[in-house]
Amino acid sequence: MKPTKPKLKQTEIGEIPEDWEVKPICEICKITLGGTPKTEIKKFWNGKIKWATAKDVVASKSRYVVNTERTITEEGVKNSNAKIHSKNTIVITSRGTVGAIALLPEEMTFNQTCYGLKTKEDYDTFYIFYFLKNSLKHLKSVSYGTVFETITTKTFEELKIPLPPLPEQRAIARILSAFDDKIELLENQNKTLEAIGQAIFKRWFVDFEFPNEEGKPYKSSGGEMVYNEELGKEIPKEWEVKKLKDIVARLGPGTNFQPKRTEKGIPFLNVKNISSGFLDLKDIKYISKEDFSLVHKSWKPEEYDVLISRIGTLGNVAVIRKEDLPLSVHYNIIDIKPKDTSHGFLYFLLKSNYFQKEFHLKKVQTVQEYITIDNVENIKIVLPHNNLLIVFDRVFLNIFTKLEKNFSQSLALSSLRDLLLPKLMSGKIRVPLNFIEETNVNFS
């Protein structure tokens, strides 16, 4: 795509191409606030209609709100301000995490922490979506409220959008959608790989159906099992029960020191940055190099350390890659250095249903849930002989390598999309005319 230098005109939102218009969002979208059925009336809840909250929108990892914690009934819709919205309605959170944006993949409804924007005719829904995504910082700057930031209907009156002709809107949307299509494909591949890895891990290390010397499942093929009093169940002969602290080189929290935040410097990880198996450093805080040296005198996070969140959102797991370093880790996160086992085994162990169940059983409830270091250190692990761990590493090396490769490719595509997005939306890069003419797909 060869950029051309457009002829520009000055407008209230800055310079845009001469053939573009400027309009407030409220003129090109029908805007609706969500609603909630009465929670005490049971017949309004647990129906077939998905009911999204701001939390569901924020948790969405793709363009779409696929999953919602709760559902409502048709009767719940009829007896509340909740409305059923059509596919591709844009949803924006108005409270808490202000300005999180997603699309509805199907007919759904949502509560009053969200606004729904339905694009009017002659405008492209995906173009509007990407403009709003590009305007997150501006959305927050025009938000209203005291205790909480909020978005009101006035926000959509003040927020102005540059509008190219409809064919160019569609072409821009098509380009940006192509990036997200590939990103979502890679993320879905990783979900499949994770599921395969966890299924094998469970079969080998929980169900004890690892391959015996003949390649047959150990337990169901008559493998010798012995009763273990610590666990209160049988485990394979020659396997050991150890505590997590005994199989790792180090297990400890990040820093509880409160360094001064800077715009640039050393990334300072919090729980939200370790939600995808690897580190997401797009929305990150930074500390100075001086503070980094001060808070990490005795240890520094290293490549292949495995992290797990222990305060607030419990049990998020991620592996540190070489390209992530240097970085600093918040006290809400436990940094674990592998020793007797590989980082691959440790990663799948910490993400396994067995470990996550034990981990959550240790939680303490105060203002927010947390887990002490002592409780994590003492979680019991059933460990096989070294030969099986070597075989495991061979099996899982390909899976883990593919996970990491897909994640890295997804990050690169996200960065390229985010670099291109504002330039396309401002008209600084124009889509070639032949590409516009070839774009016949209407995403609206």
- Looking at 115, 135, 163, the residue that finishes a domain is 163
| Spatial distance between the Cα atoms of 429 and 414, rounded to a whole number of angstroms | 18
Cα-based torsion angle of the residue sequence 22, 24, 30, 36 in order, rounded to the nearest 10 degrees: 150
Per the listing, tokens 């595509």 go with: 413
Question: For residue range 285-341, what is the model confidence (pLDDT) as tens digits?
Answer: 888 888 888 877 767 899 999 999 998 889 999 999 999 999 999 999 999 999 878
The single-letter code of the amino acid at 430 is: R
In a domain, 302, yes or no: yes
Give yes or no: residues 258 and 346 share one domain: yes
Structure tokens at 252: 């400890």
Residue 393 lies in a domain: no
Measured CA to CA, the distance from residue 31 to residue 54 in angstroms comes to 16
Are the beta carbons of 169 and 436 closer than 8 angstroms?
Answer: no
Structural Rg of the chain based on CA atoms:
26
Angle separating helix axes 343-351 and 353-361, nearest 10 degrees: 60
Q: CATH no. for residue 85?
A: 3.90.220.20
Domain annotation covers residue 105: yes
Residues 46 and 152 in one domain: yes
**Do 159 and 264 lie in a common domain?**
no
The CA distance from 297 to 400, in Å, is 31
87 inside domain: yes
Q: 40 and 149, same structural domain?
A: yes
Concatenating the DSSP letter of every residue in 132-143 gives HHHTHHHHHHT-
pTM of the model: 0.84
Local structure of residue 162 (DSSP, 8 states): E
Query: What whole-number distance in Å separates Cα of residue 263 and Cα of residue 285?
Result: 8
| Shared-domain flag, residues 31 and 117 | yes
Ranges in the chain, pLDDT < 70: 1-6, 137-149, 298, 366, 436-444
Is residue 3 in a domain?
Answer: no
3-state secondary structure of 246: helix
Q: What are the two backbone dihedrals, phi and then psi, of residue 312, each rounded to the nearest 5 degrees?
A: 80, -105
Would you say residue 261 lies in a domain? yes
**Do both 155 and 260 map to the same domain?**
no
> What separation in angstroms does the CA of 6 have from each of 130, 331, 406, 416?
21, 50, 36, 22
329 forms beta bridges with 269
Per-residue pLDDT at 432: 81
Query: Which domain-ending residue is among 328, 361, 383?
Result: 383
Q: Please, which residues bridge with residue 21 across strands?
A: 163
Q: Is residue 195 part of a domain?
A: no
Only one residue has tokens 């150890």, namely: 242
Give the SS3 label for residue 358: helix
pLDDT of residue 439: 59
Residues composing the chain: 444
pLDDT at 102: 96
User: Do residues 157 and 34 share a domain?
Assistant: yes
DSSP character for 105? S
Structure tokens at 143: 């938000």
Q: Where does residue 184 rank: exposed (0-12), middle (13-18), buried (19+ CB within 10 A)?
A: middle
246 and 353 part of one domain = yes
- Residue-wise pLDDT tens digits, 122-155: 999 999 999 998 887 655 555 554 444 678 888 8
How many domains are there within the chain?
2
Cα–Cα distance between 444 and 172 in angstroms, integer?
13
DSSP state of 369: E
Question: Which of 133, 163, 193 represents a domain boundary (last residue)?
Answer: 163
Domain limits for position 50: 21-163
Residue 310 lies in a domain: yes
SS3 154: helix
The verdict on 356 and 255 lying in the same domain is yes
Same domain, 156 and 269: no
Question: Same structural domain for residues 126 and 255?
Answer: no
Same domain, 137 and 251: no
Closest CA to 77 of 105, 101, 103, 43: 43
